Amino acid sequence: MVYFLMVSIILCFLGLLFLNIYFRAKVMKAYRRLAKSGTHIKAAHIFDRDQLEKEVLVHHPKYRQDILIFVDNIKYSMRIASLLIVLITLFGGVLMFTR
């Protein structure tokens, strides 16, 4: 049981590390295109789709696809990272209290 939990924690941590590298590359690629175009996206735009549409997509219709890819990649990476952090915490808690 202890061995399984330790391996699970290590795998989740490695998954979190890989996820960070993978999405950083994807997000930075889209961000570079948006930065060159002068598009500025705030955190509020990432979390509120209506605000994104009203304030950013209306002013930059040419970069709509890039903006949506950027926002979706950030949201997806945050969801996966949150799940992995919860799993690491859960497995660590179980490991700590079962010894």
Q: Supply the pTM of this predicted model.
A: 0.77
Q: What is the predicted pLDDT for the residue at 50?
A: 92
Residue ranges of the chain with per-residue pLDDT less than 70: 99
Separation CA 56–CA 6 (nearest Å): 45
**Helix 2-37, helix 64-98: angle, nearest 10:** 160
Cβ count near 25 (within 10 Å): 9
| Span 72-86, pLDDT tens digits | 988 988 888 888 889
> What is the SS3 assignment for 42?
coil
Separation CA 17–CA 84 (nearest Å): 10
